Structure 1
C-alpha cells in the first residue's frame, strides 16, 4: 500500500489505509479499545439474554392465554430462527454503512418490538413481536466484524475470546435471571426487563465512535479536501459507482449460506457449534423438568442450577490464556507464518471431549436421591458448558485463520447454525425429556444427546490432521 499517487482520469485519488493509519480504529489507545469492547460485550449479552430468558415466561403465558405450553414455546423458537437469518441480513450493511448506525438501528428495532409483546392482548401478538425482534437482531456476525476493525489478525484472539465470553454468558444468564422473574413477577416483566436491558446498552453504545475502516477513511478524505490539505483525495466509498449495487449485496448475503453448504470445514464445525449451543437451550427446558421431578427443586433452585454453566464459561475463558501466551512466544521465536491455521484447533482436541463426558455423566447422575446428590449433575453440566465455549471459540478462530478475506462469511455460517439449531431445540427439548420412558425420561434423553455429541466431535480430529488438503480443494 504505497501512497496511491496515480490519479484516475478525473484527477481523483483514493486514500488508502496506510496513508491515514493514525485515524483508524487499529491505532486507538488501549483504554479506548477496551471501552469500545465493553460496550459491544454489553450489546452481545443483551441480544442473547433476549433469547434465553423467554423460557421462564412459557408457563405464565400458557396459563394467561389458555394455550398449551408447547404452543407457548413457539415464541422461543421463532425468535431464534428469525435471529439466525437476521444476523446474516444485517452483516453486509454494517460493512457498507459502518457499525455504529447498523447496531443502533438493530437495537432500536429490538427494543421497539418488546413494547407490544409486553402489553400483548392475545398470544398471536407475542409470536409476531418475537419473530420481528429476532429479525431485527444484528447479533454475532456484526460483533465479530468489529473485532477485525480494531485488531490486526495476529492480535485478534484476545478480543475474540472476550466477545465469545459475552455471547455465551448472554445465552446462559437468562436461565439464572428468568427464575426470579417467573417467581416474583408477572410474565409481562419478562419483556419489560429485556427492554430495560436493551435500552441501557443502546444508550451506552450511542456514545461510542465508529470503527469501520472504510467509513473512517471516507471521513479523513473529506476532512483533507475541506482543509485544502489535499483537494483531490477521496475515500473508497466515495469513488464507488454505484455506491451500493443490490447485486453485490445479494452476493454478499448469500455467501455465508453458500459456504455453509459447499465448504466441509464450515459445514461440520458450524453443525457441531450449533449442536453445542442447542444443548444449552435444551438445558433451559430440561432443567425445569429434571431437577423438580428428581430432586424436588422449586423455580428459584432451578434458576441456581444454571450457575455452574455460567461459571464454566469464565473458567474456560481463563483456561485459554496460557495457550495464547505460549503461541505468542512461539510466533516471536519462529516468525508470524510459522503456524498453520490447524494449530487453532489444538486446544479443542482435548476440550471437546468434555461434551460427551459431561452429557454421559449428567445422564447417569440425574436420578435424584437416594442414588445421587444434586451436585453431581451440576458438575457434569459445568463440563458441557466448558466444551460449548471451547467449541464456539476455537471453531470461529480456526475459520478466521483458514478463510482470510472470506472469514466473515464463514463465521456467518457458524452464527446461522448456532441460532437456528438452538431455535429448533426449543420445540423438541420438552417432548424429548418427558416422552422417552415412564421411569427414567431424563436419563435416556441425555444419553441420546451424549451419543450424538460423540459423532459431532469427530470432524475436529479429521480437520486437525487433514485440514490443509481440505482447504486446498476449496474455491474460497
Structure 2
C-alpha cells in the first residue's frame, strides 16, 4: 500500500472513522472520504505515479495504435461532409432540384459536427469513450446506406444530417483521447496527426466494487451527476468559455472563417473547374488534391515543430514551465497564408488565368488550415486542461454552425459580385484576423486571467 494512503487511513482511524475496505486491493485508489450517516465510505479511484494502467505510461506501440485509429476516424468522418461535392450537379439533376438544395445536405451534416460534441463529450465521461465511439461509428456507417439509396432530396438531407450527428463523435472525443494518452510536451505532434483514461478508470472502479462488496468508489475528476445534467453542464461550460474568453471567441471565429470558406470553395469547385476551365468530373475531383497537398505537406513540416517551439519557449522564457500561448507562434504562418490564398484564387479565377496558377493558391489555403487548426486545438487543450472537452466543443460548435450555413448563401454572393470580389470578402475578413495569433501570444495569458471563466 502506498505510504500516502497508509498515512491517510491512519489519520482516519485517529479521528474515529471506519476503515472500510482497507484489507482488499488498495492499489490504484487514493484518499477515503466518509459519507454522512450510515453510508459506506466513498473512495476515489485514480492512477498512481507512473501507474502501468495510466494511458500516459502505456507502451508507445499501443498509444500510437490508438492515435492511428483516432486519426482514421478524424479523417473519414469530417471528410465525408463534402465528399459528394464533385457530384452536386449530378445529384441535383437526379432529384430534380437545385444545387442549393443539395448543399443543404452538407449544411445539415456540418452543423451536426458542432452540435454532436455537446452531447457525446459528457456521454463519454459517463459510459467511457470506447462504447460511445463504437456505437456512433456503427450508426454513422449504417447511415451511408439510406443516404446512397435516398429516393428524394428530403430523405437525402435527413440521412446526411444524421450521418453528421453520429460522425461528430470524432470531433467530440478525438482531442480528449490524445490528451489522455500523451503528456503536454509531446501532445502537439500526436494531435496534429490525428480521454482514454476515463475508460480505464471506469473499468478499475467496477472491478474494485466487485472485489469489495458494499464499498463505493468515485473516479477522480469525474462528476457523479446524471447524464442529462452532464450534457446541460457541458453545453453551459462550452457557451461560457466561448463567449466569456476573448481568445477562444476570436480564435473560434478564425476557425469558423476557415470552415465557411473551405465548404464554400468545395461546393463551388464543380462550377469553377467545369464551367470556367472545362474540367470533366474526374478532373474536378482531382482538383481537391490542391488544398489536400498543401494540408499534408504543411502537416509534415510544421506540426512536428509545435512541441519543439513550445518546449524551447518554456525553457528560455519561463524557467522550463510551459504556457498555452507557446502553442500559437506557428499559427502566424496560416494567418498570412489564408488571406493571400483567397485573394490569389479569387482574382485568378475571375480573370480565368491558367488553371495551375489558380490551383496553386489552394496549396496555401491547405497550409493555413493546418497551421491555425492544430495550434488552436492544442491551445484549447492546454488552457482548459480539465475542461478541454468543453473548450473543444465550443470551438467546434461555432465553426460548424457558421461553416454549415454560410455556403448556402455563397452562390448568390458569387452571382452578384463575381469570384474576385466574392472571395475577396472572405480575404478581407481573414486579413482583419491576421494579427490575432501574434497578439494573443503576447497578451493571451493576461486576457485568460482577466476574463477567467467560473466553471
* Alignment correspondent of 1:384: 365
2:390 to 409, 414, 424: 409
* Alignment correspondent of 1:108: 138
Whether the 8 Å CA contact 1:47–1:139 is kept in 2: the answer is yes
Answering whether residue 435 of structure 2 is matched by residue 435 of structure 1, we say: no
Cα deviation per residue 1:94-132 (whole Å; 9 max; x = unaligned)?
Answer: 122111000111112222322222222222211221222
Change (3 A) 1:291 1:74: same
Cα deviation per residue 1:395-421 (whole Å; 9 max; x = unaligned)?
Answer: 122222222322321221111122222
* Alignment correspondent of 1:365: 348
- Matched residue SS, 1:52: coil
- Matched residue SS, 2:279: coil
Answering whether residue 425 of structure 2 is matched by residue 448 of structure 1, we say: yes
Cα deviation per residue 1:117-156 (whole Å; 9 max; x = unaligned)?
Answer: 2222222211221222222232312111111121122221
Answering whether residue 229 of structure 2 is matched by residue 247 of structure 1, we say: yes
1:312 offset after TM fit, Å? 1.0
Separation in structure 2 between the aligned mates of residue 468 and residue 235 of structure 1, nearest angstrom: 37
* Alignment correspondent of 1:150: 181
1:225 offset after TM fit, Å? 6.2
Match runs of 1:37-52 below 5 Å:
37-52=67-82
Separation in structure 1 between the aligned mates of residue 33 and residue 248 of structure 2, nearest angstrom: 41
Answering whether residue 39 of structure 2 is matched by residue 8 of structure 1, we say: no
Query: Unmatched 5+ residue regions in structure 2?
Result: 6-29
Larger Cα-atom Rg: 2
Answering whether residue 323 of structure 2 is matched by residue 340 of structure 1, we say: yes
Change (3 A) 1:360 1:407: same
Answering whether residue 454 of structure 2 is matched by residue 424 of structure 1, we say: no
Separation in structure 2 between the aligned mates of residue 444 and residue 238 of structure 1, nearest angstrom: 54
Whether the 8 Å CA contact 1:15–1:233 is kept in 2: the answer is no
Whether the 8 Å CA contact 2:122–2:234 is kept in 1: the answer is yes
**Between 262-271 and 5-14, the greater mean CA deviation after superposition:** 5-14
Whether the 8 Å CA contact 2:86–2:270 is kept in 1: the answer is no
* Alignment correspondent of 1:168: none
**Between 275-284 and 249-258, the greater mean CA deviation after superposition:** 249-258
Separation in structure 2 between the aligned mates of residue 251 and residue 55 of structure 1, nearest angstrom: 36
2:201 to 189, 197, 217: 217
Separation in structure 1 between the aligned mates of residue 232 and residue 249 of structure 2, nearest angstrom: 21
Answering whether residue 334 of structure 2 is matched by residue 351 of structure 1, we say: yes
Whether the 8 Å CA contact 1:217–1:235 is kept in 2: the answer is no
1:12 offset after TM fit, Å? 4.7
1:393 to 364, 374, 381: 374
1:360 offset after TM fit, Å? 1.4
Cα deviation per residue 1:167-220 (whole Å; 9 max; x = unaligned)?
Answer: xxxxxxxxxxxxxxxxxxxxxxxxxxxxxxxxxxxxxxxxxxxx6323322423
* Alignment correspondent of 1:181: none
Separation in structure 2 between the aligned mates of residue 416 and residue 23 of structure 1, nearest angstrom: 33
* Alignment correspondent of 1:91: 121
* Alignment correspondent of 1:179: none
Whether the 8 Å CA contact 2:70–2:170 is kept in 1: the answer is no
Q: How many residues align?
A: 421
**Between 315-324 and 392-401, the greater mean CA deviation after superposition:** 315-324
Whether the 8 Å CA contact 2:117–2:172 is kept in 1: the answer is yes
Query: Unmatched 5+ residue regions in structure 1?
Result: 164-210
* Alignment correspondent of 2:84: 54
Match runs of 1:239-278 below 5 Å:
244=226, 246-278=228-260
Separation in structure 1 between the aligned mates of residue 140 and residue 154 of structure 2, nearest angstrom: 18
Change (3 A) 1:335 1:222: farther
* Alignment correspondent of 1:196: none
Separation in structure 2 between the aligned mates of residue 354 and residue 238 of structure 1, nearest angstrom: 43
Whether the 8 Å CA contact 1:285–1:430 is kept in 2: the answer is no
Whether the 8 Å CA contact 1:15–1:234 is kept in 2: the answer is no
* Alignment correspondent of 1:127: 157
Separation in structure 2 between the aligned mates of residue 31 and residue 240 of structure 1, nearest angstrom: 28
1:161 offset after TM fit, Å? 1.1
Separation in structure 2 between the aligned mates of residue 305 and residue 12 of structure 1, nearest angstrom: 59
Answering whether residue 63 of structure 2 is matched by residue 33 of structure 1, we say: yes
Match runs of 1:184-223 below 5 Å:
212-223=196-207
Change (3 A) 1:381 1:22: same
Separation in structure 1 between the aligned mates of residue 258 and residue 180 of structure 2, nearest angstrom: 28
Match runs of 1:157-168 below 5 Å:
157-163=188-194
Whether the 8 Å CA contact 2:124–2:132 is kept in 1: the answer is yes
Q: CA RMSD in A?
A: 2.7
Separation in structure 1 between the aligned mates of residue 291 and residue 354 of structure 2, nearest angstrom: 18
Separation in structure 2 between the aligned mates of residue 239 and residue 388 of structure 1, nearest angstrom: 33
TM-score by length of 2: 0.84
* Alignment correspondent of 2:16: none
Whether the 8 Å CA contact 1:260–1:266 is kept in 2: the answer is yes
Change (3 A) 1:409 1:381: same
TM-score by length of 1: 0.81
- Matched residue SS, 2:218: coil
